[in-house]
């Protein structure tokens, strides 16, 4: 009996974005990637669900973070040296991008100065060839100053900055417009909030083709059930033709490291380092399966395994 | 379900006799369309109607039962492609493996370990659900008996050797194990044994989905009702096949592939195989056989299963109780929050981040977040006061200071009056907790 692929009429598709600019386009990145462009749900071949391989951005923190288990072990040599950390992501760990998080600039924390932070960004930019993402510390006024300070330097690079939130999107959007970067629009686990923020950005004349949506990644066991469904609903709404929600999605799976199953020694839960990789890895697979085009990852081992899963799902693995 | 309520109504007696327990035939038709009742509840439907409705009201994916009595497993009977459309009903059993070529002690130990591997997840016990006995070179009947005695769980028998399977069924066939035909070439023999012993059977094919349709039809024609599709292939192909059969069954009412699907995860790398299993669990595998086994691999699997197979309409709730973060002494801060899982997890995470050991009292708000619960009257001052009293917390503390969420600051006066405690209004968002606690 003949079995036909169960075709469905899919009126919409996901927008595509080029991350990073090489010399050819006036930048200094060694590589650039197209993400997005999906015409169906992820990894469905007959309908071109994933024409462009989803990419992995490895996170680098500007101030030494308090990591545990596998993350602490694997990143031990670089945690207080963001430049070396970024280089290792590119050279040793298979990162497609580096996401530099300016956590050290937070006024409630270490409160590193704008000049210091910008100098770090400059050094990272000069030290790695992969496309870059720059995440603020969450303090609107400080982030605005940081983005202004690094703006001229990242303008030609096809970089990504973030995050823009509903109550403070204008300063981040203004920076992304002024410095010609992509922008991460961040919403809180709700398809309607995601859509609303995109509409605000579009009304602010922000170009749709430079938005990447972050619908908030819940960690395995701690909200994955919500994020998985929100991601799927966004992807389905985009495929159904809703233009305000057709932007590629980014999910920060590093959150998978933050819960005790990922790091606590236990007689019941088994070996902690393996658990650690799996907690981040399953969290990442949930968003990739649902519709993420870009994931942020912390552990080198998680990156290795997620790359391997992508090889196999994309069909080039064995 | 292909028919609308009106189409069903036309096939019913239209007498409104009420004997089905529903007042009118139209109401019965509506319930039937929503699969809330069975057609057999209607004593007067004629043969033609029964035939038309019976076919149409069968679930798009057959429900298959494995095992007998308590602990029996149910696979399939799903009605949607995406969990937010309704819910996924039958969480895929995770099946551990023993080989009959192992010595008896190894089989016994592994089967007992599989049984013992139970985790407490938000108040539910979650673990593996069955043991597969895989025929390689040993005595399958003896291995099956040992696995059954050591685990007490439903069994899955995997093999292609007719003699070995026959012997194993002679030993444990009465428990209705799932017979898995390990090779397409052994399908006919395994189906015949399934028929003989009244067991469910899983068959696969080397000829893609088209070959699979033929194998399933052959099994059905041989008189076996409880059939499972054994889906094989490299991950990318398997993923696409699982999506295809789910879509065909649900969106196209394609009965020929309307069975639950099982996958067998093989490979040496424990982390890679677990990520593979988790991915297949999210996309439609109804049962997963896992060769690699240890707590650190199974904990993520039971957790993703619980997350994906919870009803999206019902928020996951944390058991109302006092929870300790760090090792809080009698002077440590004491706060309360709602029992909506995400609220509690955020609060717990942020208290942990503060490095200030504390106690958190979780109030039963029926899964509502703080603000919603307060608005809905599920977090009223008297209810909170009762919960504080009932918790016996006063004996554990040297102080009588309670931190409440900033969102319910309005309740502080009344709460102070009812409890006699000093009420401290905390931050509105849990992200403010670390700073708040450090400065307290």
Q: Number of A to B CB contacts under 8 A, please give it.
A: 151
Q: Which helix (H) or strand (E) holds B121?
A: strand B118-121
- pLDDT-based confidence at A210, cuts 50/70/90? very high
Q: Tell me, what's the pLDDT at B2?
A: 61
Q: Tell me, what's the pLDDT at B7?
A: 84
Q: A218: which chain B residues are within 8 Å (Cβ-Cβ)?
A: 342
End-to-end Cα separation, chain B, in angstroms? 60
The closest CB to that of B234, out of A8, A289, A318, belongs to A318
- Measure Cα distances from B351 to A76, A261, A307, B437 in Å: 25, 17, 34, 8
Taking an 8 Å cut-off on Cβ atoms, the answer to whether B283 and A308 are in contact is no
| pLDDT at residue A140 tops 60 | yes
CATH fold of B322-439: Rossmann fold (3.40.50)
Q: How far apart are CA B196 and CA B347, in angstroms?
A: 57
H-type alpha helices, chain A = 69-74, 82-91, 114-127, 140-154, 169-178, 191-203, 224-239, 272-290, 300-314
Two structure tokens written together for A293:
């085009």
The closest CB to that of A221, out of B235, B270, B307, belongs to B307
- Rama region for B16: left / alpha / beta (φ>0; ψ in -120 to 50; rest): left
- Listed in sequence order, the residues at least 6 apart from B116 whose beta carbon sits closer than 8 Å to its beta carbon are none
Taking an 8 Å cut-off on Cβ atoms, the answer to whether A1 and B214 are in contact is yes
Q: How far apart are CA B13 and CA B27, in angstroms?
A: 13
Taking an 8 Å cut-off on Cβ atoms, the answer to whether A279 and B217 are in contact is no
Taking an 8 Å cut-off on Cβ atoms, the answer to whether B310 and A225 are in contact is yes
Q: Please tell me the class of the B5-57 domain.
A: mainly alpha
* ipTM value greater than 0.95: yes
Task: Report, as an integer, the average pLDDT of A213-231.
Answer: 95
Task: Report, as an integer, the average pLDDT of B275-282.
Answer: 98
The closest CB to that of A221, out of B208, B213, B303, belongs to B303
Query: Do the bridges between strand B73-76 and strand B63-66 make them parallel or antiparallel, or are there none, so unpaired?
Result: antiparallel
**Tens digits of per-residue pLDDT, A98-132?**
999 999 999 988 999 999 999 999 999 999 999 99
User: Which position has the higher pLDDT, B43 or A26?
Assistant: A26
Interface of B with A in 117-136 (CB under 8 A): 119, 121
Q: For residues A177 and A155, is the Cβ–Cβ distance under 8 A? A: no
| pLDDT at residue B227 tops 90 | yes
Taking an 8 Å cut-off on Cβ atoms, the answer to whether A312 and B274 are in contact is no
Q: Scan for tokens 């009344």, then name that residue.
A: B414
| pLDDT at residue B20 tops 70 | yes
Q: How far apart are CA B127 and CA B26, in angstroms?
A: 44
DSSP string, B382-408: HHHHHHHHHHTGGGT-S--EEEE-GGG
Three-state DSSP state, A31: coil
Q: A3: which chain B residues are within 8 Å (Cβ-Cβ)?
A: 208-210, 213, 244, 248, 257
DSSP string, B190-230: HHHHHHHHT--EEE--SSHHHHHHHHHHHHHHTT---EEEE
On whether any CB of chain A is under 8 Å from the CB of B355, the answer is: no
**Tens digits of per-residue pLDDT, B306-319?**
999 999 988 888 88
Taking an 8 Å cut-off on Cβ atoms, the answer to whether A285 and B296 are in contact is no
B84-117: b or e for each residue (b if 16 or more CB lie within 10 Å)? beebbbbbbbbbbbbbbebeeeebbebbbbbbeb
Q: Tell me, what's the pLDDT at B54?
A: 72
Q: How far apart are CA B98 and CA B241, in angstroms?
A: 28
Least Cα separation, residue B213 to chain A (angstroms): 7
Q: Which helix (H) or strand (E) holds A101?
A: strand A97-101
Closest CA to A179 of A166, A165, A160, A164: A160
Taking an 8 Å cut-off on Cβ atoms, the answer to whether A317 and B235 are in contact is yes
Chain A interface, best mutation among B239, B265, B266, B307, by max A CB count within 10 A: B307
Backbone angles phi, psi at A61, to 5 degrees: -100, 145
On whether any CB of chain A is under 8 Å from the CB of B252, the answer is: yes
**Tens digits of per-residue pLDDT, B23-81?**
999 999 888 887 778 888 888 988 888 877 776 667 899 999 999 988 899 999 999 99
Q: Tell me, what's the pLDDT at B58?
A: 78
Torsion of CA B127, B131, B132, B136, to 10 degrees: 120
Q: How far apart are CA B152 and CA B146, in angstroms?
A: 10
In chain B, which residues fall in CATH 3.40.50.11600? 322-439
In chain B, which residues fall in CATH 1.10.15.40? 5-57
Over its C-alpha atoms, chain A yields an Rg (Å, rounded) of 19
Q: How far apart are CA B29 and CA B40, in angstroms?
A: 12
Closest CA to B288 of B80, B279, B216, B83: B279
Interface of B with A in 74-93 (CB under 8 A): 82-84
DSSP string, B16-84: ---TTSSSSHHHHHHHHHTTSS-GGG-TT--HHHHHHHHHHHS-SS-EEEESSSTT-EEEE----SSGG
Two structure tokens written together for A250:
């980014």
Query: Do the bridges between strand B201-203 and strand B73-76 make them parallel or antiparallel, or are there none, so unpaired?
Result: unpaired
Task: Report, as an integer, the average pLDDT of B283-304.
Answer: 96
Q: Residues, chain A, total?
A: 318
Two structure tokens written together for B114:
């599989």
Q: Tell me, what's the pLDDT at A316?
A: 53
Q: Which helix (H) or strand (E) holds A35?
A: strand A33-36
| pLDDT at residue A28 tops 50 | yes
Least Cα separation, residue A297 to chain B (angstroms): 15
Three-state DSSP state, A39: coil
Three-state DSSP state, B85: helix
Burial of A7 (0-12, 13-18, 19+ CB in 10 A): exposed
Positive/negative CA dihedral, A162, A164, A170, A173: positive
Closest CA to A229 of B80, B437, B220, B20: B80
Chain A interface, best mutation among B299, B315, B345, B427, by max A CB count within 10 A: B299
**Tens digits of per-residue pLDDT, B305-362?**
999 999 998 888 888 999 999 999 999 999 999 999 889 988 998 998 899 999 999 9
Interface of B with A in 154-183 (CB under 8 A): none
User: Could you tell me which chain B residue has the CA closest to the CA of A226?
Assistant: B312
Over its C-alpha atoms, chain B yields an Rg (Å, rounded) of 27
Task: Report, as an integer, the average pLDDT of B125-139.
Answer: 96
Taking an 8 Å cut-off on Cβ atoms, the answer to whether A271 and B294 are in contact is yes
Beta-strand ranges (E) seen in B249-391 are: 261-265, 287-290, 322-325, 334-338, 358-363
| pLDDT at residue A317 tops 60 | no
Task: Please tell us whether the domain made up of A25-312 is placed in CATH 3.40.50.1100.
Answer: no
Two structure tokens written together for A20:
């990073």
CATH code for residues B63-308: 3.20.20.20
User: Which position has the higher pLDDT, B135 or B39?
Assistant: B135
Q: Scan for tokens 């169960």, then name that residue.
A: A6
Taking an 8 Å cut-off on Cβ atoms, the answer to whether A6 and B252 are in contact is yes
Q: Report how many helices (DSSP H) and strands (DSSP E) chain B contains, helices first.
A: 16, 17
Least Cα separation, residue A155 to chain B (angstroms): 32
Two structure tokens written together for B220:
């059905």
């Amino acid at each position: 009996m003949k079995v036909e692929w169960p075709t469905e009429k899919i009126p919409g598709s996901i927008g595509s974005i080029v991350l990073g600019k090489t010399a050819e386009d006036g930048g200094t990145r060694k590589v650039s990637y197209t993400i997005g462009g999906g015409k169906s749900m992820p990894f469905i071949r007959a309908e071109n669900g994933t024409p462009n391989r989803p990419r992995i951005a490895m996170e680098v923190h500007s101030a030494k973070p308090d990591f545990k288990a596998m993350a602490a072990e694997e990143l031990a040599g670089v945690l207080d040296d963001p430049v070396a950390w970024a280089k290792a992501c590119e050279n040793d760990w298979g990162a497609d991008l580096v996401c530099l998080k300016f956590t050290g600039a937070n006024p409630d924390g270490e409160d590193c100065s704008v000049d210091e932070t910008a100098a770090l960004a400059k050094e990272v930019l000069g030290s790695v060839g992969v496309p870059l993402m720059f995440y603020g510390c969450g303090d609107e006024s400080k982030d605005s100053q940081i983005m202004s300070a690094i703006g001229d330097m990242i303008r030609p690079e096809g970089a990504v900055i973030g995050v823009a939130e509903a109550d403070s999107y204008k300063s981040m959007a203004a920076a992304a417009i002024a410095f010609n970067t992509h922008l991460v629009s961040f919403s809180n686990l709700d398809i309607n909030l995601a859509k609303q923020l995109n509409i605000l950005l579009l009304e602010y004349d922000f170009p749709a083709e430079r938005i990447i949506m972050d619908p908030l990644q819940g960690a395995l066991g701690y909200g994955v059930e919500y994020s998985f469904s929100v991601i799927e609903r966004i992807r389905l709404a985009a495929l159904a033709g809703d233009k305000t929600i057709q932007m590629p999605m980014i999910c920060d799976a590093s959150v998978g490291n933050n819960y005790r199953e990922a790091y606590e020694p236990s007689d019941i839960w088994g070996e902690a380092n393996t658990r650690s990789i799996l907690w981040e890895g399953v969290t990442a697979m949930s968003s990739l399966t649902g519709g993420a085009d870009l994931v942020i990852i912390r552990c080198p081992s998680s990156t290795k395994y997620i790359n391997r899963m992508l090889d196999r799902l994309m069909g080039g693995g064995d | 379900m292909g028919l609308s309520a009106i189409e069903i109504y036309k096939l019913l007696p239209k007498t409104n006799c009420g004997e089905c327990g529903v007042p009118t035939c139209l109401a019965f038709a509506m319930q039937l369309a929503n699969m809330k009742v069975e057609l057999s509840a209607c004593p007067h439907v004629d043969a033609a109607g029964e035939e038309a409705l019976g076919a149409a009201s069968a679930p798009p994916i057959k429900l298959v039962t494995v095992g007998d009595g308590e602990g029996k497993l149910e696979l399939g009977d799903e009605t949607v492609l995406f969990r937010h459309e309704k819910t996924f009903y039958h969480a895929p059993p995770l099946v551990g493996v023993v080989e009959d070529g192992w010595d008896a002690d190894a089989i016994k130990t592994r089967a007992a370990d599989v049984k013992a591997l139970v985790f407490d997840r938000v108040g539910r016990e979650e673990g593996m659900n069955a043991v597969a006995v895989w025929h390689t070179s040993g005595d399958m009947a003896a291995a099956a008996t040992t696995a059954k005695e050591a685990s007490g769980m439903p069994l899955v028998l995997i093999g292609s050797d007719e003699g070995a399977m026959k012997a194993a069924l002679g030993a444990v066939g009465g428990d209705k194990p799932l017979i898995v035909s390990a090779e397409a070439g052994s399908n006919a023999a395994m189906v015949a044994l399934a028929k003989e012993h009244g067991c469910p059977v899983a068959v696969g094919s080397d000829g893609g989905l088209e070959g699979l349709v033929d194998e399933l039809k052959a099994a059905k024609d041989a008189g076996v009702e409880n059939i499972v599709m054994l889906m094989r292939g490299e991950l990318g192909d398997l993923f696409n096949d699982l999506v295809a059969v789910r879509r065909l069954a649900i969106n196209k009412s394609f009965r020929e592939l309307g069975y639950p699907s099982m996958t067998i995860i093989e490979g040496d790398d424990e982390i890679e195989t677990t990520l593979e299993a988790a991915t297949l669990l999210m996309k439609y595998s109804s049962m997963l056989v896992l060769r690699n086994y240890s707590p650190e691999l199974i904990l993520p699997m039971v957790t993703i299963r619980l997350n994906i197979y919870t009803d999206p309409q019902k928020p996951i709730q944390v058991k109302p109780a006092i929870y300790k973060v760090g090792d809080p002494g009698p002077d440590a801060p004491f706060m309360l929050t709602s029992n909506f899982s995400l609220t509690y997890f955020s609060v717990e995470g942020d208290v942990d981040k503060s490095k200030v050991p504390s106690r958190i009292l979780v109030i039963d708000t029926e899964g509502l977040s703080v603000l919603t619960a307060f608005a809905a009257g599920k977090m009223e001052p008297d209810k909170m006061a009762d919960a504080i009293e009932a918790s016996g917390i006063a004996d554990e503390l040297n102080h009588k200071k309670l931190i409440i969420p900033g969102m319910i600051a309005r309740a502080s006066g009344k709460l102070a009056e009812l409890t006699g405690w000093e009420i401290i209004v905390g931050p509105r968002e849990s992200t403010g907790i670390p700073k708040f606690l450090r400065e307290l």
